[in-house]
Amino acid sequence: MSCEHEHEEIFPEFAKIGQPVPEFKLEAFDPTEGGFTEVDLGALRKEGKWVILFFYPADFTFVCPTELADLGSRYEALKGLGAEVVSVSTDTKFTHMAWKTDERLLADVKYKMGADSSGEVSRFFDVWDFETGLADRGTFIISPDGVLVSSEINFHNVGRNADELFRKMEANVYLREHPNEACPAKWTPGEKTLTPSEKLVGNVYEALND
């Protein structure tokens, strides 16, 4: 992407929950168009998009294609919530293209595949493995306002679940429209939410079951 001096200007510190994410660009492979493109966080923000960054260790590995295929099965539903999905590894856009062509599990992947070959973005989101130069399994949701609202990091041997990511997105979309409420565990649209106040202290059971 850019040199170290520019990295310090664009990414002054690690990403933090509840804090704005700097605008940045990534080279990418676009499976839908079959060619190379660019992911522009600033442009997506202007479009009012939620952004899901889905980091994974490497192309041509083992758990990774199962995750990207699972994510692909939920891509249209996530787009329906106003989100754009970008998978990210430290592989180049050329490797992404070759992997997408060779690996049959990726046949239905349509979201852009970002190339963080310098590791700058991975370092910012604190998923960079300094020993291997690869990214950990990190999932990050950025609101249309550019704020990081969700962060999940798994060790390399545990795959993620796109159904749970979709549930988190549903909750975040709801809460952006209802900022005074909170979603309890396993919340899905139509279920009761919580409105934090002194009356709720010690009475969560009653609030959810009245």
Give the residue numbers marked as catalytic: 64
CA 34 to chain centre: 22
Residue 160 neighbours by CB under 8 Å, 6+ apart:
67, 70, 137, 139, 152, 154
Which one-letter DSSP state was computed for residue 72?
A: H
CA 123 to chain centre: 15
Q: Please check whether residue 88 is in contact with residue 54, taking contact to mean a CB–CB distance below 8 angstroms.
A: yes
Q: Which helix (DSSP H) or strand (DSSP E) does residue 69 occupy?
A: helix 63-73
Q: Which residue matches tokens 């430290």?
A: 90
Count of residues making up the chain: 210
Q: What is the rounded distance in angstroms from the CA atom of residue 87 to the CA atom of residue 209?
A: 40
